Chains A and B, each alone.
Chain A
Amino acid sequence: MTDRAAVAPGNAVGGRIVVDGQPIDFGPGDSVAIAVVRVGEVPARGGTLCLAGDCGNCVAQVDGMAWVRTCQTAARPGLTVVRHPADGLPTLPVTGSPDVTAVPVEREIAVRRVHVDVAIVGGGSSGRAAAAAAERDGKKVLVLDASAGEDVVAVYAGPTLIVRTPDGMLHVEPHETVIATGAAEIHPVCPGSGLAGLLTARAAERLHAAGIDLPDAVAIGTPPEGVPCTRVEGRLVRFEGADGRVMAVVTADSVGVETTTPCSTVLLGLGRAPRDLLARMAGAVPLRVAGSAAEEHPLPPPTTTGIVCPCSGATVDDLQVAWDKGFQELELLKRATLACLGTCQGGACLPHVRSWIAARTGEVPAPFTARPAARQITMAEAAADTWVDAFRRTPLHDEHLALGAQMDRFGGWWRPWHYGDPVAEYWAVREAVSLGDVSTLGKLVVSGPDVVEALERLYPCHVADIKTGRSRYALLLNERGHVMDDGMIVRDAETRFVLTFTSSGAANAEMWIRDWIDTWGLRVHILDRTMSLAAINVTGPLAGTLLSRAGLTEVPRFLGHVRAEVAGVPCHVMRLSFTGEASFELHHPVDRSVELWRALKDLGRDLGIRPHGLQALQALRLEKGHVIIGMDTELDSTPRRLGMDFAVRMDKPWFVGRTSLERTAKLPDHRRLHGFTMSGPAPMDGSPIRSGGEIVGHVTGSWASPLLGHVVLLGWQKRAPFVDRVEIDGREALVSATPFYDPEGARARA
């Protein structure tokens, strides 16, 4: 089965397009370039027209889009074209002063994806033959034909072919790819090659077929078929002209005697080169090149003068200057002169540059790798169907919105930043009771006969002595002893645990743990419950009261956990504290979350309950000096640098990271995360920390604590010896022990 997009190459009935503000007629099937030539003009500037998409000599601004190949653009009524005959380079359309803060408005680009057995790029004889052969084998075939408006602009690993069509972008995912793009015609390089009135032989055939007369035409080299012209013998020397149009062609015989032939049009049959840009773009992508695109074609004779690269304007003299400076390879010469770096990526000049180098080295250099995009495409086309990462929503998302929450993206989730009054949210936690949506925390269930052994190896704390019904705070280290994540180890049974992780670190932690357990060959089952269980943190001095009202009869003591119904919802209740107050995380099925949230809100109405967002949580944890992995830490933060040696038990024989910690413990350290206090307003996160006028670190989080009456903050000192007094925002800050608030932890345990 052959699946071809139904794209007509041109309007079936003709009509009028607008070129430089003037309407002109076009005929049925005309491209924009042919329509322009039909009225005696050139689509962009002079230079040889190939009308096959190989060069950049017909680019213009079409319907506001710059750098469009008009020979590959079907004319349709009302289409507007702006030429720039002075230099041939369309300017980007800018009107007025652009508002750089405005959200860009792009057309929505439709994208289709198709999966086929065989994709064939090229609708010529080779492409059709390849399609027929594949169809005989019962394969699903898609032929992509540039002349039908299906322009393959990129080949990526996958493989994926990115195709621009008049209906939008097409992403093709084939099992096999055949490049059958044929051969391009050689452009002339000599004085006068930028004049109008020069056509390749096949361009002449196309114009003739479109009913366009080519008066006073002379042909050099292989003449076009069926086009009336006078053949001129000899070697091409130069074109002569006036007012930008060709008036004569000068040739030379074998002994150098020149002949001038007056003409209005020159038809050039100078040879062919493989149209293999997509094949050269593919790199390691497996594909087959068929037909003329796969053939070796003779290179043109080495040029001696004139413009080599019509796109960049690089001349033969430019090549020589660069060569004499030592740029004596194709890749170097390309970069030094910009030849082959224009809109056609060497479509017009690459054979000439290779021939020119071969004449000097005796070896023909291999063509260079081509890069996407093979055609100019807009940012909207390039970005079409490219999605930002999907940010997850907790089951309480709509509840947060209903409460007026300002939502933002954190750790791969949409989370409430605040509900309008973060200070009131802070006080609700400190003095009453508050609810926090912590559904985003990572949650793994691990079970198996080797689970204790696995966790002992994975974590730097002891695990075997955690009793069923109890939990322990734990760091997760990599082999270098750097902190990757943190969370709780919660023992459910002799051989079953629940592990929690940070919201942003959960996915990585899961992969890490699976990988190690597989590596060790331990018998441990793992189930990720992160998106199956929601969690609500009930925190504040009245949290226990609220939970008792909700039916929790057995309130676990600090670091304990129970499974119980809360407000009729089955929950795994874990007692811990990140806020510094008594806190209970209620892990429960996601489909019961709204019910639980609303019940707790109702039951706590007279207790001063209100939800808190991340902004208040940041303040609360800062007063406790709690570190947030990824916010306060850096990629190479060790427990020592974070002041968290309490979470590491070097009396264990081995755990991931132990060897590195043992080695680095003997080395001097130049980095340390400190607690600081200072007066005045809280400095911004990232503010430099100075000592003696030098920057020695930066602030990772700060908060002007209304309870403590001063600013508390965490920040790095990255220069030894560490000092006790620093300067932040021009004010003195003192290194202070953490926690700043309730250092004995009495409130969390209450």
Chain B
Amino acid sequence: MLALERLRGLRVVADPAALDAARWDGDPAEPVVLRFAPDDAFGLGARAVKVDDEHAIMEPEVGFVGAWLSPAALDDVLSRTEWPLPAARPALAQGLIAGVPAKLWLPTEGDALLLTAAAHADELGMRLR
């Protein structure tokens, strides 16, 4: 069973240009920022962020769970995935995995991160067992 653990950080929706220039702070000092959409970012482990957009929505985010995947574990997950991975790195890929909405963070090097909403955690874990 895939061990999916809660991910914590900050979620920010703001003008894309302001998000591009956002300054994140947290643990680690420069958190991994997952860009879900041009105007939507999730700073993993982020505790604070400065964004030049007075209407930006900034909320603590605890609604996702995830697991870091070795290359072999990633291959196993991809065997349940209909879509191909993007060639570029780093990249955030999003789609159904074993029929469950999920995301894959593919860094330039090292393990990949599988994310899904906490509400889907049990279902995804069961389907990927």
Q: Could you list which residues of chain A lie within 8 angstroms of chain B, going by C-beta atoms?
A: 111-115, 158, 160, 171, 173, 175, 385-395, 397, 413, 445, 447-449, 495-496, 523, 525-527, 529, 531-533, 589-591
List of A residues within 8 angstroms of B117 by Cβ:
392, 531
Contact B62 A390 (CB under 8 A): no
Against A, the Cβ 8 Å flags (1 = close, 0 = not) of B60-103 are: 11110000000000000011111111000000000000111100
Among B6, B85, B118, the one with the most A-chain Cβ atoms within 10 Å of its Cβ is B118
Q: Does B25 contact A (CB under 8 A)?
A: no
Q: Does B13 contact A (CB under 8 A)?
A: yes
- Distance (Å) between the CB of B48 and the closest chain A CB? 17
Q: Does B44 contact A (CB under 8 A)?
A: no
Contact A525 B119 (CB under 8 A): no
Among A385, A390, A496, A533, the one with the most B-chain Cβ atoms within 10 Å of its Cβ is A390
List of B residues within 8 angstroms of A160 by Cβ:
82
With contact pairs A590-B62, A591-B62 given, residues A525 and B120 touching in the complex (Cβ less than 8 Å): no
Query: Could you jot down 7 A-B contacts, CB within 8 Å?
Result: A385-B98, A390-B124, A393-B119, A447-B57, A529-B63, A531-B63, A590-B63
**Nearest CB in chain B to that of A495: its residue:** B55
List of A residues within 8 angstroms of B100 by Cβ:
387, 390
Q: Does B122 contact A (CB under 8 A)?
A: yes
Known A114-B79, A386-B99; further 12 A-B contacts with Cβ < 8 A:
A385-B98, A387-B98, A387-B127, A388-B99, A393-B122, A445-B59, A496-B57, A523-B55, A527-B13, A532-B11, A532-B62, A591-B6
Tally chain B residues at the interface, Cβ within 8 Å: 35
Rounded to whole angstroms, the CA-CA distance of A199 and B118 in the bound complex is 61
Rounded to whole angstroms, the CA-CA distance of A21 and B16 in the bound complex is 72
**Nearest CB in chain A to that of B14: its residue:** A525
List of A residues within 8 angstroms of B6 by Cβ:
591
Contact A173 B83 (CB under 8 A): yes
Rounded to whole angstroms, the CA-CA distance of A175 and B85 in the bound complex is 12
Rounded to whole angstroms, the CA-CA distance of A449 and B56 in the bound complex is 11
With contact pairs A527-B59, A532-B59 given, residues A394 and B79 touching in the complex (Cβ less than 8 Å): no
Contact A531 B57 (CB under 8 A): no
Rounded to whole angstroms, the CA-CA distance of A531 and B127 in the bound complex is 20
The SS class assigned to the B binding surface is: mixed
Contact A173 B39 (CB under 8 A): no
**Nearest CB in chain B to that of A591: its residue:** B62
List of A residues within 8 angstroms of B55 by Cβ:
447-449, 495-496, 523, 525
Rounded to whole angstroms, the CA-CA distance of A171 and B78 in the bound complex is 12
Rounded to whole angstroms, the CA-CA distance of A589 and B55 in the bound complex is 22
List of A residues within 8 angstroms of B111 by Cβ:
none
Selected from A113, A445, A495, the residue in CB contact (under 8 A) with B80 is A113
Q: Does B52 contact A (CB under 8 A)?
A: no
Contact B62 A173 (CB under 8 A): no
- Distance (Å) between the CB of B15 and the closest chain A CB? 8
Q: Does B30 contact A (CB under 8 A)?
A: no
Rounded to whole angstroms, the CA-CA distance of A526 and B55 in the bound complex is 11
List of A residues within 8 angstroms of B80 by Cβ:
111, 113, 385
List of A residues within 8 angstroms of B85 by Cβ:
115
- Distance (Å) between the CB of A592 and the closest chain B CB? 8
Q: Does B123 contact A (CB under 8 A)?
A: yes
- Distance (Å) between the CB of A159 and the closest chain B CB? 11
Rounded to whole angstroms, the CA-CA distance of A589 and B11 in the bound complex is 13
Closest 5 CB pairs of A and B: A387-B99, A532-B63, A392-B119, A531-B117, A115-B84
- Distance (Å) between the CB of A183 and the closest chain B CB? 32
Contact A525 B39 (CB under 8 A): yes
**Nearest CB in chain A to that of B40: its residue:** A527
Contact B57 A395 (CB under 8 A): no
**Nearest CB in chain A to that of B76: its residue:** A112
List of A residues within 8 angstroms of B127 by Cβ:
387
Contact A390 B123 (CB under 8 A): yes
Contact A525 B13 (CB under 8 A): yes
Rounded to whole angstroms, the CA-CA distance of A590 and B11 in the bound complex is 14
- Distance (Å) between the CB of B71 and the closest chain A CB? 15
- Distance (Å) between the CB of A440 and the closest chain B CB? 9
Rounded to whole angstroms, the CA-CA distance of A445 and B13 in the bound complex is 10
Contact B82 A393 (CB under 8 A): no
List of B residues within 8 angstroms of A532 by Cβ:
11, 59, 61-63
List of A residues within 8 angstroms of B56 by Cβ:
447, 525
- Distance (Å) between the CB of B19 and the closest chain A CB? 11
List of A residues within 8 angstroms of B79 by Cβ:
111-114
Among B11, B40, B84, B121, the one with the most A-chain Cβ atoms within 10 Å of its Cβ is B84
List of A residues within 8 angstroms of B82 by Cβ:
113, 158, 160, 171, 173
List of B residues within 8 angstroms of A533 by Cβ:
63
- Distance (Å) between the CB of A410 and the closest chain B CB? 14
With contact pairs A114-B79, A447-B55 given, residues A390 and B118 touching in the complex (Cβ less than 8 Å): no
Rounded to whole angstroms, the CA-CA distance of A19 and B14 in the bound complex is 70
With contact pairs A115-B85, A158-B82 given, residues A589 and B60 touching in the complex (Cβ less than 8 Å): yes
With contact pairs A112-B79, A113-B80 given, residues A391 and B123 touching in the complex (Cβ less than 8 Å): yes
**Nearest CB in chain B to that of A570: its residue:** B60
List of B residues within 8 angstroms of A112 by Cβ:
79
List of B residues within 8 angstroms of A525 by Cβ:
13-14, 39, 55-57
Contact A529 B99 (CB under 8 A): no
**Nearest CB in chain B to that of A386: its residue:** B99
List of A residues within 8 angstroms of B101 by Cβ:
390
List of A residues within 8 angstroms of B124 by Cβ:
390
Among A115, A496, A527, the one with the most B-chain Cβ atoms within 10 Å of its Cβ is A527
List of B residues within 8 angstroms of A395 by Cβ:
118
**Nearest CB in chain A to that of B6: its residue:** A591
Rounded to whole angstroms, the CA-CA distance of A149 and B121 in the bound complex is 37
Rounded to whole angstroms, the CA-CA distance of A454 and B67 in the bound complex is 38
- Distance (Å) between the CB of B18 and the closest chain A CB? 10
- Distance (Å) between the CB of B126 and the closest chain A CB? 10
- Distance (Å) between the CB of B122 and the closest chain A CB? 6
With contact pairs A589-B62, A591-B62 given, residues A527 and B57 touching in the complex (Cβ less than 8 Å): yes
List of A residues within 8 angstroms of B118 by Cβ:
395, 531, 590-591
**Nearest CB in chain B to that of A394: its residue:** B119
List of B residues within 8 angstroms of A114 by Cβ:
79
- Distance (Å) between the CB of B13 and the closest chain A CB? 5
List of B residues within 8 angstroms of A388 by Cβ:
99
Rounded to whole angstroms, the CA-CA distance of A529 and B118 in the bound complex is 12
Rounded to whole angstroms, the CA-CA distance of A514 and B11 in the bound complex is 18
**Nearest CB in chain A to that of B98: its residue:** A387
Rounded to whole angstroms, the CA-CA distance of A397 and B123 in the bound complex is 13
Contact A390 B63 (CB under 8 A): no
Contact A390 B99 (CB under 8 A): yes
List of A residues within 8 angstroms of B119 by Cβ:
392-394, 413, 531, 590
List of A residues within 8 angstroms of B98 by Cβ:
385, 387
Contact B81 A113 (CB under 8 A): yes
List of B residues within 8 angstroms of A447 by Cβ:
13, 55-57
Rounded to whole angstroms, the CA-CA distance of A211 and B15 in the bound complex is 75
Q: Which of B1-20 contact A (CB under 8 A)?
A: 6, 11, 13-14
With contact pairs A173-B83, A387-B127, A591-B6 given, residues A392 and B120 touching in the complex (Cβ less than 8 Å): yes
Rounded to whole angstroms, the CA-CA distance of A389 and B83 in the bound complex is 18
Rounded to whole angstroms, the CA-CA distance of A527 and B79 in the bound complex is 32
List of B residues within 8 angstroms of A448 by Cβ:
55
Rounded to whole angstroms, the CA-CA distance of A391 and B119 in the bound complex is 8
- Distance (Å) between the CB of A494 and the closest chain B CB? 10
**Nearest CB in chain B to that of A526: its residue:** B13
Against A, the Cβ 8 Å flags (1 = close, 0 = not) of B31-42 are: 000000001100
**Nearest CB in chain B to that of A440: its residue:** B119
Rounded to whole angstroms, the CA-CA distance of A391 and B78 in the bound complex is 22
Contact A529 B13 (CB under 8 A): no
